[in-house]
Amino acid sequence: MHTEAWIQDAWDAAARKIAARTSRRIGAEFPHGSHDGRYQVTAPSYWTAGFWPGLLWLLYRDGGEPRLKQLAEACEERMDEVLADVGRLDHDMGFMWTLTSLANWQITGSAASARRAMTAASHLAGRFNINGRFIRAWNHPERTGWAIIDCLMNLPLLHWAAKHADDPRFRHIATAHAETAVRHFIRPDGSAHHIVRFDPETGERLGTLGGQGYADGSAWARGAAWAIYGAALSHAHTGRAEFRDASERAAAFFLANLPEDRIPYWDFRLPAAAQEQAPKDSSAAAIAASGLLDLAAAVHGDKQAEYREQATAILRSLTDRYRAGDDEEAILLHGTGNLPMGQNVDRPLIYGDFFYMEALAKLRGHSSFWSPQPQR
Ligand code: GLY
């Protein structure tokens, strides 16, 4: 496959930086947002724990440097204490063990990693609310009936488990949650609610919340990106057209509302006064670009070319205008983590770096760890 020179150059430059510099300082820790040029690290129980080992697996799969594999494995082992203490975990087990144990299993066939991924999938399936047909997001008692758009990204772990254990219950749960997300989260215009509240007893939809967005009814940019990518993945795992159509609706909204440089502000529906000083979210752009490449694979002809071109244009803008220099160990500048909480606003974010590299890897012909995999 022919790879345009700038794509190969962008991959090589970032891979060199991570291997020669960032990985030597971070080691087997769990970086999240970068401050003053250095990633700050978090606990192995935090939802972002998988992105650094996932990035290391992307690089190891490409270049085969044993040290990067060892670091990824050390992160995975450090997460064992969390896997054994399920009360510290929420629905983001999918993010966490897809990019550690499932990635390891895909690359090395590790039986220990498959056991970890099955354990995480079982805990995740245990969060399913049968009456509401959703996976419970968080653990706080008043949030028993809350589900969030991000959870679409946790479903591939369940699809993998269904195949690995030859047990369709995992697939049934993933598919039921995806149906709920398409029905209740993705609005007719393609924008997405961050949080939907259900009655945890009856399953009745009670209302929506703005969550990490500007307000209830606004359009949080990263949520819009999770909708594109997550729905495309549900289509890839089930073949059901309604999930592809939902991803297309989310993509149409995202692409139609991008500013001139194709990198969104942190929320697409900010009042004019708030927009003037608003930070961008480069992580939303990277996630959307990677998701658009999967969506391109789900359609044909002009549409396929269009999604691929749009994804490539976003990645080109990230590369030309948002890449960090030598004073920064991260790859991408200008991510926004959680603006309403004042966390990691206008900073590099590890998931921005991960999805940027994942998308470049796709343009170089590789698949992602979230995609359907042949069983071993
Ligand atoms: N919890 C996922 C996010 O912040 O996007």
Q: In order of start, what are the domains of the chain with their CATH numbers?
A: 5-363 (1.50.10.10)
pLDDT in tens, 116-138: 999 999 999 999 999 999 999 99
pLDDT in tens, 58-78: 999 999 999 999 999 999 999
The tokens describing 350, both together, are 């590890």
Averaged pLDDT score across all residues of the chain: 97
What pLDDT is attached to residue 274? 84
Cβ of 194 less than 6 Å from ligand 1 = no
Cβ of 47 less than 6 Å from ligand 1 = yes
Given the residues 92, 281, 294, 353, select the one marked as catalytic. 92
Residue 1 above 80 pLDDT? Answer: no
Residue 2 above 90 pLDDT? Answer: no
Ligand 1, residue 47: give the atom nearest the CA: 1
| Helix residue ranges, H only, 18-143 | 23-26, 51-63, 66-78, 80-83, 93-97, 103-108, 111-125
Ligand 1, residue 351: give the atom nearest the CA: 5
Determine the distance separating the centroid of ligand 1 and the alpha carbon of 300, expressed in angstroms: 31
Q: Confirm whether 80 is a catalytic residue.
A: no
> Taking the CB of residue 142, how many other CB atoms lie within 10 A of it?
8
Mean pLDDT on 86-106: 96
Residue nearest to atom 2 of ligand 1 (CA): 150
pLDDT in tens, 26-40: 999 999 999 999 999
Determine the Cα–Cα distance for residues 237 and 126; give it in Å rounded to an integer: 20
Given the residues 12, 80, 85, 150, select the one marked as catalytic. 150
Cβ of 222 less than 6 Å from ligand 1 = yes
The tokens describing 345, both together, are 């606003």
Distances (CA, A) of 50 to 125, 148, 199: 19, 19, 31
Q: Read off the DSSP letter of residue 84.
A: T
CB 99 within 8 A of CB 129: no
List the one residue out of 131, 147, 52 whose CA is nearest residue 92: 147
What pLDDT is attached to residue 296? 98
Reported in sequence order, the residue ranges of 237-316 that DSSP labels E, i.e. its strands, are none
What pLDDT is attached to residue 280? 98
Ligand 1, residue 222: give the atom nearest the CA: 5
Please choose from 46, 150, 345 the residue to mutate so as to test ligand 1's pocket, defined by most ligand atoms within 8 A of CB. Answer: 150
Residue nearest to atom 5 of ligand 1 (CA): 222
Q: Confirm whether 12 is a catalytic residue.
A: no
Mean pLDDT on 75-104: 96
Ligand 1, residue 338: give the atom nearest the CA: 4
Residue nearest to atom 4 of ligand 1 (CA): 337
Mean pLDDT on 280-289: 98
CA 86 to chain centre: 21
